[in-house]
Amino acid sequence: MHPILRSWRRFGIWMAAWIPVGFLLILVVRLSGRLTFSEALFVMTPAVIVMAFVCLSPYYVCRSLPLKTASSEKIVVQHTAAALILTGGLLLVARFAASVLTPSFNELDARFSAAVPMLALVVLMIYFVSVALHYAALELESSRQSEILAREAQLKALKAQVNPHFLFNSLNSISALTTLDATQAREMCVRLADFLRTSLRLGERVTVSFAEELALTRMYLDVEQVRFGGKLRMKQQIDAACSDCEIPALLIQPLVENAVKHGIAMMAEGGEIAMSGCRDHDHLRFSISNPFDPEAPSTGRNGLGLRNIRDRLESRYGSSARMDIKVEERLYSVTLTLPVRPHR
Amino acid sequence: MKIRVILADDEELARRVLREHLQTEQDIEVIAECSNGFEAVKAVNEMKPDVVFLDVQMPKLDGFEAVELIDDAAAVVFVTAFDQYAMRAFDAAAVDYLLKPYSSKRFRESLDRVRARLREAQPSQLSPDLKMAARAPGDYLERIVVKDGPKIHVIPVNKLDYAEAQDDYVALRSEGRVWLKQQTISNLEAGLDPRKFLRLHRSYLVNVERISRIDANTKDTWLAILTDGTRIPVSRSGYARFREIAGIGP
């Protein structure tokens, strides 16, 4: 079905647009056929209404003959044929109206005949304009479609995937524990499985509750704790009101992973990751900070994870969400401020 | 005599796996364990082990930086969860590159390679100039490590003003001081971003941001004046490179 016919509102606008076009045609008939205004109005009204529908038909022809792939001869021939046939039909409608009305108006039929060539020309032109408009609209639509697809693909890619090096390092810890401490090796397997399962489950969703995301973060840290032992310390102060806030899935876990990878892991003596969360009427604010060694060797991909998070916030919330990064001498902190549904 | 080994990894569990694998080997003795790059360099240079097992990502200095600062005599085995460094490890003349987690079979193969290397009278070192050659495009050095007596000094590349070739060494000028490093200038040049460092002369590699202007000197030579007033000779090809990067046509 034609997109204009899919909603009453659009259909209304389309028909309204035909009022000036209709007046134009009436004027053409009146001038070239020496009809009075009311005669022209009576003769042309049914034809203009039919034409409003006829000019929707290029939609189907245009779609079957895309500009990019169809040969140009084919496009010209098919559209011209359609234009001629439809113009002919339209003239018949007007003609029919004129002949019906002839008894009421003096020699209307004959006077109308004089207007036919000019009318045919104008109708033909209007039809071609509608073909051009349809091509333009289809082009716009397809470019918007590909933009949406690209954005979706991008968002999907941006959503942090499980970092393979994290997996390999965890597996290496397990391989160490198997002979050192079998019970802890099993415990580590369970923690890793919990984290992976939850991460996959949340990753399928667009939004999750803050509590779910925080639980995932906890699972991640449980695994890293085995690897880093006493080097990795945690402090957490999260208001209970944050729990049911809806946030984009896998938004916070990558922040924590960053804090471990670029912060704690690169400190010879380790350090403390501090997380805090609070909520006012319609905003959630989450902060994470970690010590870092400004002279540490590069850990690669610096800042890429953070840029992904910024992009995701931007595409979802526009300017109503923020990510602030603060680098003090040896402390790196990231604060997210997101709009949330107000308290009930 | 036993093969003396040093283990360097920031994760205790990772060191314990290594130790466990080595325990069963009668001809091997672990003489030290280190948990960061500084410690590793210090321990290797002081204790002169036969072999060092090195993690790549460690605090202070990473494995590749550490290798540059340790005596060539020790055989190096990289142990890491990252597979993208394999080419660099090969070019750093490492004996082997173990991916975590590894099997005991794979570990024994690695030990066999180590023993074979130690049996060779002359270690088959690759040319150090090749070390940098396999760097991925766009993957340039961010820091340069130099030995300063017993200490290690790290120069971030954006703090390096210029490097001057001096026989087997390069003199690195940074923050008003000069550091000597045993390396060829071409080798250093290969590791640095060519958009940021220009070889203005056979003996000089200059940080583009430090160049304040270039003056004509004689017919075929020029002088680069750095922001601090230092004058650096510029050769004909160096001048051509400068014009190219500055966007001035030939």
Which of the residue ranges A100-114, A138-152, A200-214, B76-90 would you say has the lowest mean pLDDT? A100-114
Instruction: Tell me the two tokens of residue A320.
Output: 């109503």
State yes or no: pLDDT of A297 exceeds 90. no
For residues A135 and A67, the answer to whether their CB atoms sit within 8 Å is yes
Q: Within this chain, do residues A136 and A217 fall inside the same structural domain, yes or no? A: no
List, in sequence order, every residue forming a beta bridge with B146; answer none if it has no partner.
B153
Q: How far apart are CA B50 and CA B72, in angstroms?
A: 10
Residue A344 is assigned to a structural domain of this protein:
no
Q: What is the mean pLDDT of chain B?
A: 86
- pLDDT for the residue numbered A108: 75
Q: What is the mean pLDDT of residues A303-328?
A: 86
Smallest CA–CA separation between B209 and chain A, in Å? Answer: 22
Residue A224 is assigned to a structural domain of this protein:
yes
Q: Which residues of B touch A264 (CB under 8 A)?
A: none
- The domain tally of chain A equals 2
Choose, out of A166, A167, A169, A177, the residue to mutate when testing the contact with B (most B CBs < 10 Å). A169
| Residue count of chain B | 250
Q: Which residue type occupies B11? A: E
Domain boundaries, given as residue ranges, for chain B: 3-129, 143-245
pTM, rounded to two decimals: 0.65
Q: Which residues of B touch A192 (CB under 8 A)?
A: none
- End position of a domain, from candidates A104, A126, A154: A154
For residues B174 and B155, the answer to whether their CB atoms sit within 8 Å is yes
Q: Within this chain, do residues A47 and A109 fall inside the same structural domain, yes or no? A: yes
> Cα–Cα–Cα angle for A306, A309, A310, nearest 5°?
90
Q: If you search the block for the tokens 């090096």, which residue do you land on?
A: A165
Q: DSSP letters along A34-79, please?
A: T--HHHHHHHHHHHHHHHHHHTTTHHHHHHHS-TTTS-HHHHHHHH
Q: Which CATH superfamily is domain B3-129 in?
A: Response regulator (3.40.50.2300)
For residues A281 and A297, the answer to whether their CB atoms sit within 8 Å is no
State yes or no: pLDDT of B130 exceeds 80. no
> Which CATH number fits the domain that encloses residue A296?
3.30.565.10
Q: What is the mean pLDDT of residues A123-135?
A: 89
Q: Considering only the top CATH level, what class is B143-245?
A: mainly beta
A129-154 b/e (C-beta count within 10 Å ≥ 16 → b) = ebbeebbeebeeeeeeeeeeeeeeee
Q: Which residue range forms the structural domain that includes residue A82?
A: 3-154
Contact call for A268 and B10, based on CB within 8 A: yes
Q: Residue A157: pLDDT band by 50, 70, 90 thresholds? A: low
Q: Which residue type occupies B201? A: H
Nearest CA in chain A to B85: A300
- pLDDT for the residue numbered B127: 45
Q: Which of A168, A175, A229 sits opposite B17 (nearest CB)?
A: A175
Nearest to A264 by CA among A324, A326, A331: A331
State yes or no: pLDDT of A219 exceeds 90. yes
Residue A86 is assigned to a structural domain of this protein:
yes
Contact call for B143 and A298, based on CB within 8 A: yes
Q: DSSP letters along A94-135, please?
A: HHHHHHHHTTTSTTHHHHHHHHHHHHHHHHHHHHHHHHHHHH
Q: What is the mean pLDDT of chain A?
A: 87
Q: Within this chain, do residues A207 and A235 fall inside the same structural domain, yes or no? A: yes
- pLDDT, tens digit, for every residue of B97-115? 999 999 999 999 999 999 9
Pick the more confident residue, A107 or B31: B31
